[in-house]
A and B are shown apart, each in its own frame.
Chain A
Amino acid sequence: MLHTGRWRPWLYVGPALLLTGFFLVYPTVMTIVRSFFGRTAQLFGPNVEFVGLRNWAYVFTNRVMLAALRNNALWAVLFTGCTVGFGLALAVLLDRVRYEKLVKSVIFIPAAISMVGASVIWKFVYAYRPPGVEQIGILNAFVVALGGEPVGWLIARPWVNNLCLIAVGVWIWTGFCMVILSAAYKNIPRQLMEAARIDGATEWHVFRHVILPLLAPTAAVVATTMVIQVLKVFDIVFVMTNGNFDTEVIANRMYKEMFNFFNYGRASAIAVVLLILIIPFMILNIRRFTQQKGGR
């Protein structure tokens, strides 16, 4: 510790405290309070109306909101399962080939670009033309070449279009999971796997009983990180469908309530839902993280 007197330290930490206090602490408290009030922007003023739980009733009964909650659940399960699953598979498989580095770069590149950019890329993959006209989206070109009818991937509700949006998210985030899981995989002592192989274990057994248990803690941290990401999913949906055709998600709905319908009470309640959903996963992640640190 440095000896700096009583006031000096506040010059160092003060700006950070002021900024986070104003931009994060104050609004969080206000948004929670706001979720019990009516639609106006000002909380202190003549038009303020206390509405009790009316916004909350809306959040959990409105048809579009229920679809949004359902879609976020779908995202959480499929997106997390696919990103972590593919990341794990790639980490293990790529270790066995000589061109590992090159493929890793290829898979990781989408992490660099904006989700807006990725959405444009995939919107073009999903492009739809009516039957008989030449398809310019590669996915429909495939379908037609195989003798099928072209599909309106982003319009076919509710499963096809949601799956197509989730695929974009998976494409963006798999590289991230792969890099972390690959680092953990390379930390496993090679003798452990060799010993199992000498004892006659098949490659599948080695994976199932040696590799998987040792990677499980890392995979769990990655999975919770993915869940936190996916609960806040916004850009992909905003750009590709704007929540139409039953693809609404919580974050996009919150944006709409705020900027299209100017209902600040409802928008606040939706934001609080997001916070409540995220907190348990954050606690899980922080706890696991500190455990890992302590164990090292």
Chain B
Amino acid sequence: MDPRRMASRAPLHLVILLFSAIWIIPTLGLLITSFRDPAGIAGSGWWTVFPRLFSGGQFSLQNYVGVILREGLGRSFLNSLAISIPATMISTFIASFAAFGFAWMRFTGRRWLFMLVVGLMVIPLQMTFIPILPIYRKLALAGTFPGIWLAHTAYGLPLTTYLLHSFMSGLPKDLFDSAAIDGASAFTTFSRIVIPISVPALASVFIFQFLWIWNDLLVALIYLGARPRVAPMTVTVANLVTNRGQDWELLTAAAFVSMALPLFVFFSLQRYFVRGILAGSVKG
């Protein structure tokens, strides 16, 4: 490349470099700090570790051991899993039945019921808490995992049903005709043909729903409260910020533990992940 062209492209690279720096540096600071000891964190900025990066003795896993064992983050990690996985499975399960019914079955009110379910996407979740919570308390569902599974399932249904419906209604009609000729029942058609074909769509829906629930703070605060026994990681980390706001060795390690799984999903399933995130942006 000739030098003139390189010079004219320098501003372009600089702008991109600046953006990249703003996006990397805050996370890098968190990561480095989470491995430093409390005295080091309080005494000097995290960027001062670089000149003596390999001198040893300044990094350890102590903070992680501390938050996981003593601050209850280990418990919260398991709680987050116990909330996200069943809730995601139930909602994907119910949504795929509904999407199939709305796409390929004949019944009165099909069109407007579908519009209604999908139209519920406009409702901000704040509209739902006040009437539901007293009922939850009466039924002893408040503060329980089944309670939050049901809530997350219902809140996710408008979007998941819509996404799966647009996929399933696009399937060729011949598929269903030939299945009917072979004498297959509706359920056989659904479970043997439609579900296997829909795996890519189901995967995207599953990932976005899982990450949405994993990263959710509001719904968990409302229906689970701040009880440590059932609190997911988002709630525990938010509590740490409130109660231990200056203990950066705890906060940074805790935040990183809460981000580990989403980052793993991001790097291992990037294609589905991007599709899932884009699809999920309109939710609640």
Contact = CB atoms under 8 A, between A and B. Distances in A.
B154 A17 contact: no
B124 A232 contact: yes
A97 B12 contact: yes
B20 to A, nearest CB: 6
A171 B19 CA distance: 10
A196 interface: no
A138 B29 CA distance: 8
Interface stretch (B53-61, B90-98, B197-205): B90-98
Interface string A176-190: 100110000000000
A25 interface: yes
The residue among B22, B94, B124 with the most chain A CB atoms within 10 A of its own CB is B124
A32 to B, nearest CB: 8
A103 B106 contact: no
Contacts of A278: 122, 124
Interface in B207-265: 211, 214-218, 221, 233-234, 237-238, 241-242, 248, 251-252, 254-256, 258-259, 262-263, 265
B217 A234 contact: yes
B161 to A, nearest CB: 6
Nearest to A119: B241
A138 B131 contact: no
B216 to A, nearest CB: 8
B214 A20 contact: no
**Main SS class of interface, B:** helix
Contact of A28 (B105, B128, B214, B284): B128
Nearest to A26: B131
Contacts of B81: none
A31 B127 contact: yes
Contacts of A275: 122-124, 127
A21 B248 CA distance: 44
B117 interface: yes
B282 interface: yes
Contacts of B116: 25
A24 B154 contact: yes
Interface residues of B, number: 99
A25 B121 CA distance: 11
Contacts of B153: 19
Q: Could you say which of A120, A127, A242 has the most chain B C-beta atoms within 10 Å of its C-beta?
A: A120
Interface in A209-252: 225, 228-229, 231-232, 234-235, 238-240, 242, 251
Nearest to B267: A105
B105 A268 contact: no
A22 interface: yes
A3 B106 CA distance: 7
B124 A108 contact: no
Given A23-B150, A124-B30, A271-B127, A9 B105 contact: yes
B158 A123 contact: no
Given A30-B130, A138-B25, A274-B126, A2 B278 contact: no
Contacts of A110: 23
B238 to A, nearest CB: 5
A109 B127 contact: no
Nearest to B22: A171
A90 interface: yes
B69 interface: no
Please provide the 9 A-B residue pairs with the shortest distance between their CB atoms, ordered closest to farther: A12-B101, A23-B154, A16-B98, A114-B215, A120-B255, A30-B131, A27-B131, A27-B128, A9-B107
5 contacts: A1-B104, A86-B19, A111-B277, A124-B33, A282-B121
